[in-house]
A and B are shown apart, each in its own frame.
Chain A
Amino acid sequence: MRYWTGGGIAIILALLQAASIEQFKVLGVAPNLMLVLLVSWLVVRGLDDVLPMLFVAGVTLGLVGSQTPGLVLLALLPIAGLGVVRELHVVHSDALLVLALVLAASVAYELVLLASVMASGGVLDVATAFTHAVLPAAIVNLALTPPVYLVMRFAKPAGPRRRLAY
């Protein structure tokens, strides 16, 4: 994918996340469509394609959102580490892989933000934060993953080495 196309999609994603997604609250939390799309794209296309998008999306969301610019980028960075898991082919089913990566990326994302809130003087109630924000967010993102992944998968089929498996 050309950089400008990926960058454009990433900006729209970040704006959509900031403007609209918080309206869709399930279990008291809003899904992170941007994260789910980035992880799905990672599984379908690999790290090389997703990292520039991750950069643009993270910077944009940092600038339009209330978080410190750079913090969202840092919270999205574990996706790069998770990309290594994909390269190792530990899990042979892409469908299972994307679910596992979304779960891990969601927890990592929320934990980075939680650490930031606590470091800057927020409530130190980790248990409540985990049960009311981190865990529900991971579950909601997980539920959103299958449709998003299927759209990604069929929008841009992977190469012959990586097949859709169940």
Chain B
Amino acid sequence: MTARTLAWTGFIAIAAFVLMAASRLTLLDPVENLTLNVTAPVQTAMRDATRPIADWVNNFTDARALSDENKSLRDENERLTNELARAREAQVQAQNAQDLDAVRRQFPNDTFLSASVVSRDASNLRSLVAIDRGSADGVKEGMIVVTEGRSLVGTVSKVYDGYSWIMLITDPKSAVSAIVQESRAQGVVAGNYDGALNMEFVGQGAAVKQGDFVITSGVGGGYPPGIVIGRVANIGKTEQDLFQRVQVDYLASLTKLDHVLVLTSFEPNRLPKP
């Protein structure tokens, strides 16, 4: 190893730690905002240019048609499932006037901000997307993001002037207080490294069935209640376990997000520790 190589290696190592520290102190936010501003159109063009190849690679035959049809069917399915879920939810809520009032108080006027996905996380360990709306548009950290069909997508995790990063519900750092709509069993829907959603802390006695809807519970104040997350896909329980292992199929088409809605009328109000 030459002196020049050693110098470069040392320089890169130091630069890595300096950049991490600067980012932690939010000193790099203007630079990141500017970089995203400059590169977003380039990234969109690159993604559009390579999408047919990606579709072909992913589907092998009749790529575009299959992909488009699949997307439109998923969107339709999501819309219909949401309607069904909302109808069921309305039925359940109607039986409990107190809950209904609480929901109404929390959603006096839903206002949404439409945004386009401009970038995605490039690593295999995180699930994040960048949208073209930021603090200049009124976006704040912690705000909820849903699809046009009103299924939960995730939360705003980092905000710049003109852009924001959204942490998807499948991210390993995501945890959403949720209930199973039919049985009202409570739990926490958490992401994992394999991209699957698991509902944790569901008691052994809770009656959970495959196909049940999983919606946000509103517990903790981080999410409004009643937003559809997905449906129960699998349930695993053994007598030794304290909790059931509930796998959830998310409803939103998270792998092919183009447009999302930021729920600007709801700001998280996390409860202080007792």
Residues A80 and B125 in contact, CB atoms below 8 Å apart: no
Residues A48 and B5 in contact, CB atoms below 8 Å apart: yes
Residues A29 and B4 in contact, CB atoms below 8 Å apart: no
Residues B191 and A28 in contact, CB atoms below 8 Å apart: no
Residues of A within 8 A of B124 (CB): 29-30, 110, 133, 136-137
Residues A15 and B195 in contact, CB atoms below 8 Å apart: no
Q: Once bound together, how far apart are the Cα atoms of A87 and B213, in whole Å? A: 58
The number of chain B residues touching the other chain, given as a range, is: 35 or more
CB under 8 Å from chain B, chain A span 61-110: 61-71, 73-74, 77, 80, 83-84, 87, 110
Residues B5 and A18 in contact, CB atoms below 8 Å apart: no
Q: 1/0 contact trace for A108-133 toward B, CB 8 Å?
A: 00100110010011110100110111
Q: 1/0 contact trace for B159-183 toward A, CB 8 Å?
A: 0000001000001110000000000
Q: 1/0 contact trace for B1-36 toward A, CB 8 Å?
A: 110110011011101111111111000100110011
Residues B172 and A123 in contact, CB atoms below 8 Å apart: yes
Q: Which residue of A lies closest to B42 (CB)?
A: A15
Q: Once bound together, how far apart are the Cα atoms of A3 and B121, in whole Å? A: 28
Q: 1/0 contact trace for B38-76 toward A, CB 8 Å?
A: 010011101101110110011000000000000000000
Residues B24 and A19 in contact, CB atoms below 8 Å apart: no
Chain B interface, DSSP helix/strand/loop, else mixed:
helix
Residues A73 and B47 in contact, CB atoms below 8 Å apart: no
Residue B193 CB within 8 A of the other chain: yes
Residues of B within 8 A of A19 (CB): 42-44, 46-47, 50, 119
Residues A55 and B12 in contact, CB atoms below 8 Å apart: yes
Residues B12 and A51 in contact, CB atoms below 8 Å apart: yes
Residue B123 CB within 8 A of the other chain: yes
Residue A38 CB within 8 A of the other chain: no
Q: Which residue of B lies closest to A114 (CB)?
A: B125
Q: How many A-B residue pairs have CB under 8 A?
A: 179
Residues B50 and A20 in contact, CB atoms below 8 Å apart: yes
Residues of A within 8 A of B158 (CB): 66
Residue A24 CB within 8 A of the other chain: yes
CB under 8 Å from chain A, chain B span 106-137: 119-126, 128, 130
Residues A71 and B1 in contact, CB atoms below 8 Å apart: no
Given known A51-B12, A77-B9, A84-B1, contact A28–B19 (CB-CB < 8 A): no
Residue B101 CB within 8 A of the other chain: no
Residues A22 and B122 in contact, CB atoms below 8 Å apart: yes
| Most chain A C-beta atoms within 10 Å of own C-beta, residue among B13, B54, B172 | B172
Which of A24, A55, A87, A133 is in CB contact (< 8 Å) with B57? A24
Residues A117 and B125 in contact, CB atoms below 8 Å apart: yes
Q: Which residue of A lies closest to B47 (CB)?
A: A19
Q: Once bound together, how far apart are the Cα atoms of A19 and B124, in whole Å? A: 14
B residues sitting closer than 8 Å to A (CB atoms) are 1-2, 4-5, 8-9, 11-13, 15-24, 28, 31-32, 35-36, 39, 42-44, 46-47, 49-51, 53-54, 57-58, 119-126, 128, 130, 158, 165, 171-173, 190-195
Known: A55-B11, A74-B17. 10 other contacts (CB 8 A): A15-B46, A20-B50, A47-B8, A65-B119, A67-B123, A70-B18, A71-B20, A73-B12, A80-B8, A113-B126
- Which 4 pairs of residues, A with B, have the shortest CB-CB distance? A70-B19, A23-B54, A19-B43, A132-B194
23 examples of A-B residue contacts, CB within 8 angstroms: A15-B42, A19-B119, A20-B54, A22-B122, A23-B58, A51-B8, A52-B8, A55-B15, A63-B32, A66-B123, A66-B126, A68-B19, A69-B23, A70-B18, A71-B16, A80-B8, A80-B9, A113-B123, A121-B173, A123-B190, A125-B192, A128-B193, A133-B124
